[in-house]
Amino acid sequence: MTLLEVSGLQVEFDTPEGVVKAVNGMNFEVNEGETLAIVGESGAGKSQLVMAIMGLLAENGSASGQALFRGKDLMKMKPKELNTVRGRHIAMIFQDPMTSLNPFLSIEKQMTEVAMHHQGLPRDEARAHAVEMLRAVRIPDPEERILQYPHEYSGGMRQRVMIAMGLLCEPELLIADEPSTALDVTIQAQITELVSELRQETRMAIILITHDLAAVAEISDRIIVMYAGEVVEAGSVDDIFYRPQHPYTRGLLASVPRLDRVSDDELQAIPGNPPNLLELPSGCRFRDRCVEATEPCREKPPLWVSPDGRVSRCVIEMEGGLIEAAAEEAGDAE
């Protein structure tokens, strides 16, 4: 069943240099119990997309479109109503666990208050529940460690605390924005393992946001690749890794340095820089960095959609795909 359905989502920021369209007409859905990864470089709009859904945009940002969570539009909710949904039904964890935790409060205080506020539990029950969640994210000696302050935890342990806090209210949807990017590669692997286990133990849906395709290979069901505020490709995890359609997806895959191959080829980068939304080329937005770009790319590329939900936005024809007229109109509305 569909848990979250986003359609026609646009996000704009008013800046001194002009209006920046960070997200330009996104349509996607998240099903119950499913893990969706949203992948893209800095400036792709992947974080702003979820910030808009959660009502957390910066002052100069505005969003339009629909985000139906269990049929109710998050974008039209009053702040109070949205506050209930956030934390209780949808939890979010951020990249830097140190700045998301209050350094002056013990983990016990921070976790217990969340449970008391959102679930109306009395203090001792809330505390017991918090300990249980710390145990669920594999923090050793949770009874002892809950008394400690954030600085007494290592980076990886802090991110576990963040996940535990996210899990407190047993949300239906967990949004994780680059949860392991700031961590050592060893700890990244542990967090990946943890998320993979939690997926199996709970029926929670997860949205994972990352710039590193390799980081989500093991733990996602579907993947959306974003570039300059738009979907460039979407499909099942196997589609994206084994049958990538879009040159940008292929570029992202090729840029991952691999150790499982003995060969020592030259490292592949995507040429150029992540998109500057104020200086986008005409036609295909990826054109100026694309190694396969040709003359027709100067025109707006078609959006191919297949019956099983595969999507590619490129002049290269997608097998079994039909051109989606409605989506094209949304894109043309800029």
Q: Does 154 bind another protein (CB under 8 A)?
A: yes
What H or E segment, with its residue span, contains residue 37? strand 35-39
Burial 267-283 (b: 16+ CB within 10 A, else e): eeebeeeebebeebbeb
Scan for tokens 């710039």, then name that residue. Answer: 211
> Residue 200, interface with another protein (CB under 8 A)?
no
| Residue 267 interacting with another protein (CB under 8 A) | yes
Q: For another protein, which residue of 58, 78, 104, 269 counts as binding (CB under 8 A)?
A: 269
Contact between 280 and another protein (CB under 8 A)?
no
d(CA 319, CA 175): 32
Nearest CB to another protein, comparing residues 77 and 254: 254
Q: Which of 52, 215, 232, 305 binds another protein (CB under 8 A)?
A: 215
Dihedral of CA 251/252/254/255: which sign?
A: positive
How many whole angstroms separate alpha carbon 219 and alpha carbon 237?
9
Cβ proximity to another protein, 172 vs 239, nearer residue: 239
291 contributes a contact to another protein by CB under 8 A: no
Choice from 1, 58, 259, 325 touching another protein (CB under 8 A) = 259
Cα(51)–Cα(206) distance, rounded to whole angstroms? 15
DSSP state of 259: S
Q: Which is nearer to another protein, 69 or 227 (CB)?
A: 227
238 binds another protein (CB under 8 A): yes
Count of residues near another protein by CB under 8 A: 46
Q: How far, in Å, CA of 54 to CA of 85, rounded?
A: 9
Is 212 among the residues that bind another protein (CB under 8 A)? yes
Q: Please give the residue ranges that form the binding site for another protein (CB under 8 A).
A: 41-43, 154-157, 184-190, 192, 196, 211-215, 217-218, 237-238, 241, 251-253, 255-260, 262, 264, 266-271, 273-274, 276
